[in-house]
Amino acid sequence: MNKVFKEANYAVEDVFEGAIIMLGGFGLCGIPENCISALVEKNIKNLTCISNNAGVDDFGIGLMLQKKMVKKMIASYVGENAEFERQLLSGELEVELIPQGTLATRCMASGYGLPAIYTPAGVGTEVATGKEVRNFNGKEYLLEMAFDADFAIVKAWKGDTMGNLIYKDTARNFNPLMAMAGKITIAEVEELVPAGTLDPNQIHTPGIYVHRIFQGRNYEKRIEQKTIRKRDN
């Protein structure tokens, strides 16, 4: 099975209107920049996006929001995007905000083939509205469903032609969880090497989970907010 694609446009060619898409990354760290740009170029509508965040106004998922490609956003943090706020308040965008640990665990459950998980996060809050609550050993837990994503789109530092992936530093965030969870997983990497090149002990995502892979280019790797301090004398 040949998993290697020439570039992002080919890898996302069959992403369809109304698809449910997982997008890896944390803030702007480790996001699949090339695939997002390709999706924006395709201008597919009515997407449901599952991500840690909604990008910023002119980068990441924010570019998709600008073109009104996103029908529903499922995320744990959206504080850096004014266009997101505008669409939410105007009723143009459906939003599901969930605790970050719940977001991660629902991804993991999907990858493990579990239909749902129980979590204490959100019990007694608005998050629990309409959800089943069960008591285990005197403590209440919410039933949360595993995600059912058509595509998982992730970014890795290095990958091989069989789809094995290695993430670098903090880019190893939601990417490994989401890579396991999509019906079709698309990986963009900074460096694509022949199969057998990577040390098996260093691989974070086994190639069995990855259906398509390509070497990306022109990464910006932006930082949302840079905080610095004066050097001590």
Per-residue pLDDT of the chain (233 residues; tens, 9 = 90+): 899 999 999 999 999 999 999 999 998 999 999 999 999 999 999 999 999 989 998 999 999 999 999 999 999 988 778 899 899 999 999 999 999 999 999 999 999 999 999 999 999 999 999 999 999 999 999 999 999 999 999 999 999 999 999 999 988 999 999 999 999 999 999 999 999 999 999 999 999 999 999 999 999 888 777 778 888 76
- Predicted local distance difference test score (pLDDT) of residue 1: 80
Q: Give residues with Cβ within 8 angstroms of 129, minimum separation 6.
A: none
In terms of CATH architecture, what is 16-114+147-215?
Answer: 3-Layer(aba) Sandwich (3.40)
Q: Is the dihedral of CA 108, 5, 57, 149 positive or negative?
A: negative
pTM of the model: 0.92
